[in-house]
A and B are shown apart, each in its own frame.
Chain A
Amino acid sequence: MKKIIIIFILIFITGCDSYIELNDLAIINALGIEKVDNTYKIYAGTVQMLDEESLMPEIEVYQVEGTSLNQIIDNLSLALNKKIYLSHLDLLLLNDSIKDKELEEIINFFLNNNETREDFLVINTNDINKTLEKMKFQEINELVKNNKRETSKTIYTTMYDVIKNYYDKKSIYIPAINIKETITLNGLKEYKNNKYKDIKSDDVIYINYYLNNIDTYKLSFSCSNQTNKYLYLNILKGITTTLNKEILVANEIKVITNDCNYSKDEINKIFNDNLKNKLNKLTKKKITINNTIRGTYEN
């Protein structure tokens, strides 16, 4: 009996009948989705063979249309004659045509697809096709990542954040990319109640404060008593703790240039007034700021 079972297992259950050659996989790294006249347009950036000169993988952009995302992915698979592989998806590009209905379909598509991991970057761009053609997905990822790290003027929004904020009915902040001659980061798009709202780069810092998402950034104030002279600060760290009725903000500030010869208390006051003023526009809670200041200031 045992031998029969073992032979049965060996013949029918083992083997590699479901294996797929690497060449038969369409590895998609970037996906752009827009809706035009009740039809989805999808731009898929797939990795091709290595370029012999630059030794970088070449990326080809395919465009497919359809009425539902699943249908389009099937169409793409037929067009490329390969299995669509989304596990290495690094970038999702959307534009203002994606509203509640479409967003829900996109979210459901990714939630039902066990292959994908929702840690890829989501961006908003005015021209998806041009963005994908002009810039490689790694470069866009780096652009957002570096800007977030060095200036805190953007947010590295992943699909996890989009799904979470969509179901929690909170604002979804998506980094906006503007494409003309060059590609530039252009603040954020705030999506709430089926509408997109532009947020300028300088205001993103305060949204990052609100979300406890601050890295380093630099800030300058012109001196009140002297023209063309500045107080230049480097904010090394910012931590926000949100309580029921209060928001606590702690900053570590380094004074780089102090042309105005402000004292520590004056620097503290100027910085706090500005931060409170901006944060009051985002929340009605009481704001308490505590700063550690080092660098050059008058004692």
Chain B
Amino acid sequence: MKIKKVENRLAFFILTLALFLLNINYLNISTILIGSLIAYLFIMLFEKTKIYQFKIVKIILTIFSLLFLPIYLNKITYYISDNILREYSTISISLTLIITIFILGNKGYHTIIKVLLLALYFIIFFFILGFLTNLLYLDGNNITTTIFFSNNLFLESIYYSILIIYPYFLIYPTTNTKFKFYDLAFSSFYQIITYIVIISILGTTLTSLYKYPFITIFKKVNLIGFIERIEIIFSLNYLFCFYFLLLFSYYNIKSNLSLIIKKDKNLTITLIFITFIIFIISTIIQ
């Protein structure tokens, strides 16, 4: 089965959403808007110059992925430990994640996209359900002009634009899909809606205090007395998004290395070594 272009666009949407949620404490509406604009200008520049075909860009991207993976593997491990498997050791969680990423990442891009599509039904269903359950708890008084203010607008916007450009490099150049304005517009629009929902439920103060405000909003849900304590189901939903972030980063390392290391056996050994190093670093860093 051939991969459709819309599937790649959906993958971009999931990855940007995952990065947005994991960095929500540093963002606000102004940074999302300005950052999206900066990212769009850069992406257009990359598309025109075809910069991603240069070897040096591929090397930089591989190094970036190598730095990104242990940091986000650590973040996601703690996300699971804090929200889903509270009694389980973080090393076991991290190990499970990295082994599955290693197996699935080596299967190729086709398999990754198909797994993402399978998970997408679950993700979209719970996105809609989550939005509906939260409708009752929206409080307009929490939405003030502070949602536009930022202490360091320029730096935060640049940071956000990196969070957009990185998934772009992971998906579009490898699949020869043309980047469209609406890809970015749709993901930014969805992120702004998510941000407004979170702010209107928790307020700016609590949103900045909680590590996972997108999970905390579900802790408040209590529908007709018995639909409550549902945050773990939604935590699992977000976990899928985060997992694909790791998976695509790993695939990027693998595909770029395969250009340098031609022999399959050597490539596998190198990948095992890199995976092991990533696992070790992720357990060491705090």
Q: Which residues of A are at the interface with B, using a C-beta cutoff of 8 A? A: 2, 5, 8-9, 12-13, 18-20, 111, 114-115, 117-119, 160, 163-164, 167-168, 212, 242
Contact = CB atoms under 8 A, between A and B. Distances in A.
Interface of B: 82-83, 85-89, 92, 95-96, 99, 103, 141, 202-203, 205-206, 209-210, 219-220, 222, 229
B255 to A, nearest CB: 20
Contacts of A111: 209-210
A5 B82 contact: no
B206 A212 contact: no
A164 B103 contact: no
A82 B95 CA distance: 29
Given A13-B92, A119-B219, A163 B209 contact: yes
Contact of A168 (B103, B205, B219, B229): B205
Contacts of A118: 219
A160 B83 CA distance: 19
A117 B221 CA distance: 11
A242 B144 CA distance: 12
Contacts of B141: 212, 242
A168 B95 CA distance: 41
A28 B203 CA distance: 28
Nearest to A15: B92
B206 A163 contact: yes
Given A164-B205, A168-B205, A119 B87 contact: no
Given A5-B103, A117-B219, A167-B205, A13 B95 contact: yes
A212 B142 CA distance: 13
Contacts of A19: 87
B235 to A, nearest CB: 11
Contacts of B88: 18
A219 B117 CA distance: 60
A18 B88 CA distance: 6
B151 to A, nearest CB: 16
A115 B86 contact: yes
A183 B41 CA distance: 66
A5 B268 CA distance: 14
Given A9-B99, A164-B206, A114 B219 contact: no
Contacts of A115: 86
Contacts of B203: 164, 168
B224 to A, nearest CB: 16
